[in-house]
Amino acid sequence: MIESLQHLPLAAGTHGVLAERFSDLAPALTARQAAIESARCLYCYDAPCTRACPTGIDVASFIRNIHDQNIEGAAIGILKQNIFGGACSRVCPTEILCEDACVRNNDAEGQPVKIGLLQRHAIDNAHFDCHPFQRAPSTGKTIAVVGAGPAGLSCAHRLAMLGHDVVVFEAHEKAGGLNEYGIAKYKLPGDFAQREVEFLLSIGGIQVEYGRILGANLHLQDLHTRYDAVFLAIGLQASRRLGLTGEDAPGLMAAVDYIATLRQAADLAALPVPRRAIVIGAGNTAIDMAVQLKRLGAEEVTLVYRRGVEAMSATGHEIEIAKTHFVRMRTWAAPLEVLLDDAGSVCGMRFEETRIEDGRLVATGAVIEIAADAVFKAIGQHMDGGSLADPLAGELERDGQAGNERIRVDSDFRTALPGVYAGGDCIAPGQDLTVQAVQHGKLGALAIHNDIQSVHTKAGA
């Protein structure tokens, strides 16, 4: 998809210079800073920060361990609940979760305990001679997991801990899902995502097969027949379309495709970078795209959203990051027309101004034009219909309207097909956060284990 931008100039500067712009978003705490910050924690009974964490990390406990200089103990406490604790300490919106719930988050205190940075400190500085969790005795059961993103790998790891063998089927060349391909490079720099995957797999009992695409060279019917259970963690693979003429013109592409290329680039100086760019969207992906373009040297980046700032799904923290990078924000404007130059390439977009009228978003008729060398869509993803195209997959119940469907599951992540479970972004919308996907995988694994053990117990009786 990056071929859509090949007519644009390459990033200015050497790879080394550009790479320096993609170091960690926030510097790590020093040992002294971690000691001081951990001392601020009140170690609350029934801590609200733990209740706010989607994975249920015992925040007070791991912070006390840091205070007592038991870094390995702190890390184990985190990883026991969230095997992706390292990535989540960097990408999790703690400002709307644990830190928002912190009892020190009030005007008198000034700011909450820096839980995210303390979690990162524990994970980054823990040293294990071997994997910290041991596998239970083998159950003799093998489970198929489709998708090696946070949900799929979290499920696989927990199943391995419980004594099951797991085969993970992944479409890409690398495991990690959005952590590897979809997160801003300055949030998970270097090879952090792959090192975390290697650590997770080191528990043993997990085999990963790459280049296996559900609906192409992998079919649900076969998996259902061959394995004791199946967990679908297929995410949302296809980008939504604007539905405008010229959408396939050179210079217009999905933000997630550019971000994936950026994250895998061996030479950042070889990336095409527009001088002026438009990013359409209002979520964290839109912010990630806009900020990374600025860091690559784009002179002018405008983020456009059809509603107001208060309706943006990006967190306030993310919006502030965009502002500090001088990303322009144009709200109350809906895409109307792609503007093309004489060569048929994107040269801008025409938008129609909007407003709320009787509770509904309506067009005002006023039109604005924004010049740009490239336009990036960050308007959401949907399931690729081909991934669930075989006859058995047709029996999976769906939620949502056509083009925005998700797999329906019960409270234990069971689908309508016995023995088939699902979690992550492919099921009914939640917060669409990495930490939530990790929790889906963990709880899905526990449900699979309990169901398999229940069947085994009944058979033995």
Cα separation, 306 vs 332, whole angstroms? 4
- pLDDT for res 459: 55
Among residues 110, 80, 77, 115, the alpha carbon closest in space to that of 96 is found at 115
In this structure, the answer to whether residues 341 and 394 fall within a common structural domain is: no
Does any domain span residue 423?
A: yes
Total domains in the fold of the chain: 3
In a shared domain, residues 222 and 202: yes
Residue 309 lies in a domain: yes
Residues 363 and 286 placed together within one structural domain of the fold: yes
Residue 450: its pLDDT value, please? 96
The pTM of the full predicted model, rounded to 2 decimals, is 0.94
| 264 in the same domain as 355 | yes
Q: Where among 342, 357, 380 does a domain terminate?
A: 380
Give the pLDDT score at 150.
Answer: 97
**In-domain check, residue 323:** yes
Dmax over Cα atoms in the chain, in whole Å?
Answer: 77
DSSP one-letter code for 387: G
Domain hosting residue 69, numbered range: 31-125
CB neighbour class for 304 (10 Å; exposed up to 12, middle 13-18, buried from 19): buried
In a domain, 15, yes or no: no
| Residue 453 pLDDT | 86
**How many other β-carbons are positioned within 10 Å of the β-carbon of residue 434?**
29
Distances (CA, A) of 166 to 84, 163, 277: 18, 10, 44
Regions of the chain with pLDDT less than 50: 461
Q: How do strand 165-170 and strand 142-146 relate by DSSP bridges? A: parallel
pLDDT of residue 389: 81
Give me 261's structure tokens. Answer: 């290329």
Domain identity same for 355 and 399 = no
Domain-located, residue 25: no
Torsion of CA 156, 157, 159, 161, to 10 degrees: 160
Within-domain flag for 99: yes
Domain identity same for 218 and 243: no
Domain assignment present for residue 67? The answer is yes
For residue 132, being part of any structural domain is answered with: no
Q: What is the pLDDT of residue 295?
A: 97
Looking at the fold, whether 250 and 344 belong to one and the same domain comes out as yes
Give the whole-angstrom CA distance, residue 376 versus residue 281: 9
Q: Yes or no: say if 409 and 423 are a contact pair by the CB < 8 Å rule.
A: yes
What six digits make up the tokens of 435? Answer: 């930490």
* Residue that is last in its domain, among 100, 125, 150: 125
245 close to 340: Cβ distance less than 8 angstroms: no
Residues 245 and 225 in one domain: no
What lies within 8 Å, CB to CB, of 117 at 6+ separation is 26, 28, 29, 34, 37, 89
* Three-state SS annotation for 118-154: HHHHHHHHCCCCCCCCCCCCCCCCEEEEECCCHHHHH
Q: What is the CATH number of the domain that holds 358?
A: 3.50.50.60
| 224 and 263, same domain (yes or no) | no
CA atoms within 13 Å, Cβ hemisphere of 402: 0
CATH number at residue 108: 1.10.1060.10
Same structural domain, 376 and 396: no
Q: Of the residues 380, 412, 438, which one is the last residue of a structural domain?
A: 380
Same domain, 246 and 372: yes
Shared-domain flag, residues 364 and 396: no
Taking only the tens place, the pLDDT of each residue in 274-333 is 999 999 999 999 999 999 999 999 999 999 999 999 999 999 999 999 999 999 999 999
